[in-house]
Structure 1
Amino acid sequence: MTDLVEPKATEIVYETEEPILYAVEDGVAWITMNRPGFNNAQNGQMTYALDDAFQRAVNDDDVRCIVLAGQGKHFSAGHDIGTPGRDLHKDFDRRLMFGRHVNRPAAELLYTREQEQYLGMCRRWREAPKPTVAMVQGACIAGGLMLAWVCDLIIASDDAFFQDPVVRMGIPGVEYFAHAFELPPRIAKEFLLLGERMTAQRAEQFGMVNRIVPRDKLREETAAVAAKLAAQPRLGAWLTKQAVNHVEELRGKRTAMEAVFHMHHFAHAQNDLTSDNSLGGLDAKSMASANKKQAGE
């Protein structure tokens, strides 16, 4: 989620020119979010670098599996709503069939941007023809969920947790609305309405997480799983992904996301009309404070 009425004069200060690290080891591409100082909060710079990395891995015939990871203590704290590198009003070379967002008025700006950078990009990565694994440690919050959920498998550390607290902003979940597909409906409602942290252990019970290991064994276990995936026949792996994804589409995943995406942006517009911004007056600091208070920290 991003602030629709943020002053355009705000200076963007990127703390790194490498928001994504990329390496290939034994047929596995390791794509690592590299904003650990901001808990890998996703700005436009990172999102487009992620897309570059996924495309690079797909184009490389020697890569047979893709791992998505986060540098530092946490996998991802979600969308960037408060760092010096927050780049809401920056134009990027677009990858999908949407126009520029920076010259759009009012709610159209956010609606256009998030069609590409959030919903569109996530769908694009989900359809990568190679097996993908999310390696999740620490926090996987809001926009972080989207990045983990587009992957075929999720391997989590025993201290990982998952959370989507944006109902606090009056918003019905993050843009890539897979909640009711990742979780049973009543659990999805609890997850969203209460906005509480879900432990990796509980997430595993519902099939949202494949494996849980101690944090110091996380990379080792992920590498072992990735090696097995990389050894599978290339076409067989791709067809298997398509088969399961097709079943999800038959269950209405894509149409559900389309509907909720519009609810999401109605909520942003309502916030703009009733408060001082599209996030209902909340920012990164206030959201983090509320999350910690709710968790008893």
Structure 2
Amino acid sequence: MTAVDETVPEFVTYTVDEGVAWVMLNRPQYGNAQNYRLLNQLDAAFKRAVEDDGVKVIVLGGEGKHFSAGHDIGTPEKDSNFQRERVHLWWDHTNKGGAERQYVLEQDAYLGLCRRWQEIPKPTIAMVQGACIAGGLMLAWVCDLIIASEDAFFQDPVVRMGQPGVEYFAHAFELPPRVARELLLLGERMPAERAHQFGMVNRIYPRESLRAEVAKIAAEIAQRDRFGLALTKQAINFVEDLRGKRQAMDGVFHMHHLAHAHNQLMTGNLVGGLDAKAMAKANKEQAGEG
């Protein structure tokens, strides 16, 4: 397991209770936005849970008001130049230029990590409250179950940035294609109740009882045979891949980076000049909060 650097804030916390690993995103002051150090720590936490025979189920949650506001595009701790430990055999991105730099980074840190986590052999549960936006969707979608609070909402507004959705493009597998188009083209918030109607969310509970209800579900799953659970996960993943999930995701990932390169040429910015504040303002105005 990767050694802990004591100089880096604890962006992810890890506890085990009765066979359940609780992995919690811990940047509540920024809506649990995902910088690369957080993603590194999340990967280390998942690896720790997988290697612990005492852990039967993994719960992924977020501290504070929101599950995750997505990828970090503008906090003081944004770290795109961070020399991260790569999980795949891609070369270092930090000394590269042009489209290569971002492609190599996201191939490993976004698409690569999500695929790695989606293949975790132990059952995973996303415990979602508040906002689950863009990169937040990626973390929830890699989990086997999504249990949400009544006030949770799901959103991918990155078409505003000229991007065809986030890098782990599971939209049309999680939702009917016409609804996936709506999610992307309008970029509106999808309430948990509507996501539940389409099968993207398994169950909904009041926020105050969410953790207790997730603990009950995890405890029930933890009674099953470990190898049987792993094979069941592999079976469903196999069916999804037969339906073209992996191939489709590869194709859209390349479109995503064509969009990055186009934005860079046209505006000098990967995301068309929309920073975190501009995106937050647009989202709030659309939701009638601004």
TM-score category (smaller protein): over 0.9
Please name the residue that 2:70 is paired with.
78
> What are structure 1's unaligned runs of at least 5 residues?
1-14
CA distance in 2, matches of 1:133, 1:99: 32
Aligned AA (2:171): H
Are residue 17 (structure 1) and residue 9 (structure 2) matched? yes
For 1:282 and 1:128, the matched residues in 2 are separated by 34
Q: Secondary structure at the match of 1:68?
A: strand
State the secondary structure of the residue aligned to 2:132: strand
- The ranges of structure 1 where at least 4 consecutive aligned residues each deviate by more than 3 angstroms after the TM superposition are none
Residue from 192, 208, 229 that aligns with 2:221: 229
Match of 2:198 in 1: 206
TM-score normalised per structure 2: 0.97
AA partner of residue 60 (structure 2) = L
One-letter amino acid of the structure 1 residue matched with residue 243 of structure 2: R
Q: CA deviation at 1:229?
A: 1.1
Is 1:195 aligned with 2:154? no
Q: Does 1:253 align with 2:236?
A: no
Structure 1 residue 115 and structure 2 residue 84: aligned? no
Between the aligned partners of 1:241 and 1:97, the Cα distance in structure 2 is: 25
Separation in 1 of the partners of 2:164 and 2:223? 40
**For residues 100 and 29 of structure 1, what CA distance do their matches in structure 2 show?**
32
Shift, 1:134, TM fit: 0.2
Q: How large is the Cα RMSD of the aligned pairs?
A: 1.1
> Does 2:173 align with 1:178?
no
1:98 CA displacement: 1.2
- Alpha-carbon distance, 1:16 to partner: 6.3
Candidates 49, 55, 68, aligned match of 1:63: 55
Could you say which residue in structure 1 is the equivalent of 2:44? 52
Aligned to 1:11: none
Following superposition, the deviation at residue 107 of structure 1 comes to: 1.3
Query: How far apart are residue 97 of structure 1 and its match?
Result: 1.6
**Structure 2 residue 279 is the aligned partner of structure 1 residue 287:** yes
| Deviation digits for residues 101-137 of structure 1 (CA, Å, limit 9, x no counterpart) | 1011111111000001100000000100100000000
2: distance between equivalents of 1:284 and 1:132? 29
- In structure 2, C-alpha distance between the alignment counterparts of 1:214 and 1:68, rounded to whole Å: 18
Question: 5 Å matches for 1:214-225?
Answer: 214-225=206-217
Q: 1:159, 1:276 → 2: CA distance?
A: 37
**Partners in 2 of 1:87 and 1:119 — Cα distance?**
18
The aligned runs of 1:82-121 (5 Å cut-off) are: 82-121=74-113
**Long gaps (5+) in structure 2:** 1-6
Number of equivalent positions: 284
Instruction: Output the CA distance in 2 between the equivalents of 1:87 and 1:106.
Output: 18
Paired AA for residue 255 in structure 1: Q
Q: Are 1:39 and 2:31 matched, yes or no?
A: yes
Report Cα offsets for 1:54-92 as digits up to 9, x if no partner: 000000000000000000000000000000110001111
C-alpha spacing 1:136/1:16, structure 2 compared with 1 (3 Å): farther
Query: Separation in 1 of the partners of 2:61 and 2:214?
Result: 10
- Deviation at 1:95? 1.5
Q: Give the Cα separation in 1 of the matches to 2:75 and 2:67.
A: 17
Q: What CA deviation, in whole Å up to 9, does each residue of 1:264-297 have, x standing for no partner?
A: 0000000001113010010000000000000001
Question: Secondary structure of the residue that 2:204 maps to in structure 1?
Answer: strand
Instruction: Show CA shifts across 1:147-178 (max 9, x none).
Output: 00000000000000000000000100000000
- 2:20 pairs with 1:28: yes
Distance 2:274 2:99 in 1: 17
Partner SS, residue 281 of structure 1: coil
Match of 1:154 in 2: 146
